[in-house]
Structure 1
């Protein structure tokens, strides 16, 4: 199964759906979906609501392997079921879509113009559970706010150190050093980031491969060299706060990069839509994001 998923992830047409909102971002995701905070009274109820939302997305006819290569899940989504199957098994067996798991524990406080990942002492056990749940790969996010060379070096170092643990566990890591789209020196930060990533890619062993999830750059095709690196399975782009229209337009100008959108995928989905309305909204989102991922300018 994993060999087939790797081949598809490397060469298939489509994009990755990001359905991995965690505890901190879940209330915002639910509010955007039309579920207000006063409609649930505990964290457990909140996660039940968000799992219902994700289940509705994943089981919709428009959420299909013709357009979608993979889906990123939150830990509790991995441990939840859809139609009697664990979510990862439902994705791979029923939908033909590779499951990924968000493995970071959130962001540390800002220092040196960046936010590193918080310590994650339970990572080894989480990776064991990910393998038990038939997860294909993982994702971990840190954030760059300024073109601070020292901070960016430290972020990339941390990302690749954790990526080594993930590849050693037999999973494919998505390295995600996001650049804040509102950064005053975004373009400069992106150039520093690219150079640092290249240094680490060149040091990877023959059996180590990673995916990269990057903010859509100010300079079109800035990351083309990364997409062509033999140690890179795929480069995917986060929407980062851009609307779907903006993100799709920027994506079209970046060859060999596909989408991995979250907010931009779900922005028109609402709790009170009929199933027909919901699927039509999702279908439009899926088709436009797919088109921007495979058809370039």
Structure 2
């Protein structure tokens, strides 16, 4: 494991950019960027266009290691190159720690939650990730209702796979997302916190995880998780909040830093000039950095 990257993720100032939209969400990401579905006629063309979008973000002056701790990539982005370098190597050159989304999407809802679909090729993917200079991984489940059985299943599945990722030499970002529109969001978060603590307390001293969680309804509800010795960092997803709302809620939570996707790229469009694009990205990066670092 790269000691500099480990230290940066643990103690550095900044946030993690989520650039990991995959097959199902790529058309939406392109549409938000101003590229309609009639602009491409095949999946290959679609992924070419999304790689152009991500390349534009990653190569922008504001996308740098001074404010950005890490970036989460989709598998195809990891396997592609930017300016002649594999994306993970390019990010590392900018002092941005590369992560890889490894989940294969969500199963149907049961017990108020959506578990991850099986990750059949995990070992092969982790081996290729190590070759591509990836530091850690990310995988997402969703919690809709305060069902203890369902939430326990989500957390157990996440940690079971997380331990395999740790054994491979990478650091897992465990992401049991609580739906921000759940009518019982705060109760979901209370159950989730206890289930995560149980799993964290069972880890050995050489096992580290990161957590990616919805910003809690009650400020500092995840303080025990932020301070847990087995947790390298706790990051927050925007989950559908606007950037302004996500930043405001984030600032109320000590030690919690952003890992935003839509809230980072919402105001970027394909039609912008380089100056307009870079200015819009800089504004987003600066505001998310401030919300991650400067607490109320």
TM-score range with shorter-chain normalisation? Answer: over 0.9
Structure 2: give runs of 5+ residues left out of the alignment.
Answer: none
Q: Aligned partners of 2:45, 2:252: CA distance in 1, in Å?
A: 41
- The answer as to 2:155 corresponding to 1:160 is no
CA RMSD for the aligned pairs?
A: 0.6
CA deviation vs aligned residue, 1:28-67 (integer Å, no higher than 9, x gap): 0000000000100111111000000000000000101110
Q: Aligned partners of 1:292, 1:242: CA distance in 2, in Å?
A: 14
- Taking the TM superposition and a 5 Å limit, the aligned residue runs for 1:40-79 are 40-79=40-79
Q: Which residue does the alignment assign to 1:27?
A: 27
Q: Which residue does the alignment assign to 1:224?
A: 223
- Taking the TM superposition and a 5 Å limit, the aligned residue runs for 1:20-169 are 20-93=20-93, 95-169=94-168
Q: Aligned partners of 2:248, 2:18: CA distance in 1, in Å?
A: 19
Q: Aligned partners of 1:54, 1:2: CA distance in 2, in Å?
A: 25
Following TM superposition, by how much is the alpha carbon of 1:80 offset from its aligned partner in structure 2, in angstroms?
0.3
Structure 1: give runs of 5+ residues left out of the alignment.
Answer: none
1:229 is paired with a residue whose SS is coil
Q: Aligned partners of 2:126, 2:64: CA distance in 1, in Å?
A: 26
Q: Which residue does the alignment assign to 2:259?
A: 260
CA deviation vs aligned residue, 1:219-272 (integer Å, no higher than 9, x gap): 000001100000000000000000000000000000000000000000000000
What's the TM-score once normalised by structure 1's chain length? 0.99
CA deviation vs aligned residue, 1:103-141 (integer Å, no higher than 9, x gap): 000000111000000001100100000001110000000
Following TM superposition, by how much is the alpha carbon of 1:165 offset from its aligned partner in structure 2, in angstroms?
0.5
Q: Which residue does the alignment assign to 1:286?
A: 285
Q: Which residue does the alignment assign to 1:15?
A: 15
1:119 is paired with a residue whose SS is coil
2:134 is paired with a residue whose SS is coil
2:283 is paired with a residue whose SS is helix
Runs of 4+ aligned residues of structure 1 deviating over 4 Å after TM superposition are none
Q: Which residue does the alignment assign to 2:232?
A: 233
Q: Aligned partners of 1:113, 1:42: CA distance in 2, in Å?
A: 35
Q: Which residue does the alignment assign to 2:276?
A: 277
CA deviation vs aligned residue, 1:163-191 (integer Å, no higher than 9, x gap): 00000000000000000000010000000
- Taking the TM superposition and a 5 Å limit, the aligned residue runs for 1:173-252 are 173-252=172-251
Q: Aligned partners of 1:43, 1:180: CA distance in 2, in Å?
A: 29
Number of corresponding residues = 296
What's the TM-score once normalised by structure 2's chain length? 0.99
